[in-house]
Chain A
Amino acid sequence: MKIKFAWAIGLVMAISSIIPTLALGEEDIFAQYREMFGDDNPAELMELQGEELWKTPGGPKKASLEQCDLGLGAGKVAGAYAQLPRYFEDADRVQDLETRLVWCMVKIQGLSWDEATANPFSVQGQSTTKMEALAAWIAGQSKGLAVAVPQEHPKEIAAFKTGEKLFNYRAGPYDFSCATCHSQSGKRIRLQSLPNLAEAAGAREAYIGWPAYRVSQGAVRTMQWRVGDCARQQRLPKLKFTSDASIALISYMGVRAAGEPMDAPGLKR
């Protein structure tokens, strides 16, 4: 375990130093890099932590999350991530994985909502957060299973529709929407390829790889982090963690990614 960790850190440092010098072949290099890793992803370390966190009693109620219902029944983790976000009757709300985990921390472990949503994402140099580790492990338990985000409950349908409108919603001093960067195929910002999320093929490819280990940041990044960071780059105010807008956007992408086998945690630049 320790040796593996050191090895992963070494590789991360090596790759981080390569990044600034990468030229047009960046995508090829990362494809090679992923191949070299094979099934080994530094996120594995976070997955192990996540599994342990899931089983460890915590919060004022000293309860573990093992009784948390991620949509397939209490404690059933295998395959749950491929079917999120979804409507939960107890919350009367559509929830993505991270929002559901917060819900469970509140209901089962006795944390306040504010406590459970404080600092969900690690900052540079910080160790993995509870949310990141849990998301990595739970996503990993859907590996190979087809994305099947439900569209049955009226609130699930509403979330998708709101997500689509938000995707196209231009605002802020730069007039950006999600669609500004993510509605054409074969496009890049600098050398970074942009998935075309307006097309099913692009949404599928992008969706299945999150959460992901971001090599340049040395951290597992979750889907909530991903949509939040897009809002920052859009020059919008901060998209709140577990907000309805974030869940609507994730629903929009998830529904469009239907049928594609999950492959998270992914490995990204």
Chain B
Amino acid sequence: MTTVLQRFSVVLLLLLLSAAAVQASELDSVIETSFKAKGQAGLERLKQTDQQAACSGPVGMPLPDSAAKISAEAQASIKFPADGQYLGDWEAGERIAQEGKGMQYSDKADEPNGGNCYACHQLSSAEIAFGNLGPSLHHYGKLRGQSEAILKYTWTRLWNTHAFNPCAHMPRFGAAGILTEQQLKDVMALLLDPASPVNQ
């Protein structure tokens, strides 16, 4: 009897596993056949990283079990500026924050990417065309100052925000190579420089 039951459960398990595999491969084959490479966007972009897969649950689902691991890996991925200088030029940072182009197949690959910060965040009070997918960053530096801890925290947020918010919506501007170190410094200055319009 036990063996029959054991056999039955093995068969059931195999069936369940193969059903799950079929489902997964169905999605994979739909994705595989539905896109074509164009401009700078190659087909390799469709392949999910482990983190992207873990963060692709249905809307409203709790964080995946791997959330702590995602944060730890993100934390470990942070590359702080080699020269210890965190703050660049806020005017250059404002231009980066305004620029929406970058990495779309319709964008030129040899031009610098924008940060498109205003798409989702309020920053300078002069710019009223800001989105609200992310929190307002108006007065970001005025409220927080420029301590070492704040510099590192802000840099981490820009580099790979999953260090603090696993499965956050925001792109990993440093870790994914969207912005260069110098561009990140300029955006840092936009956020933290007392002279920046963000802090007026």
Contacts and interface: CB of A to CB of B under 8 A. Distances in A.
Contacts of B178: 173-174
A177 B58 contact: no
A177 B51 CA distance: 13
Given A184-B133, A187-B132, A188-B132, A244 B30 contact: yes
B56 A162 contact: no
Contact of B133 (A24, A168, A170, A187): A187
B176 interface: yes
Contact of B52 (A165, A175, A188, A239): A175
A173 B169 contact: no
A175 B176 contact: yes
B130 to A, nearest CB: 7
A236 B46 contact: yes
A188 B34 contact: no
Contacts of A170: 48, 52-53, 55-56
B119 interface: yes
B45 A172 contact: yes
A205 interface: no
A237 B37 contact: yes
Interface string A156-169: 00100010111011
Contact of B42 (A174, A183, A232, A237): A237
Contacts of A237: 35-38, 41-43, 45-46, 105
Interface string B13-47: 00000000000001100110111111001110111
Q: Which 5 A-B residue pairings sit nearest by Cβ, starting from the closest?
A: A245-B34, A243-B34, A238-B38, A198-B59, A174-B171
Interface of B: 26-27, 30-31, 33-38, 41-43, 45-48, 51-53, 55-60, 103-106, 118-120, 128-133, 169, 171-172, 176-178
Given A169-B31, A188-B131, A237-B38, 20 more contacts: A162-B30, A166-B30, A170-B56, A171-B47, A171-B52, A172-B46, A173-B103, A173-B171, A177-B56, A184-B133, A191-B131, A192-B131, A231-B35, A235-B104, A236-B46, A237-B43, A238-B37, A244-B34, A245-B30, A245-B34
10 contacts: A169-B31, A169-B56, A188-B133, A189-B119, A190-B129, A198-B60, A236-B45, A243-B34, A245-B30, A246-B34
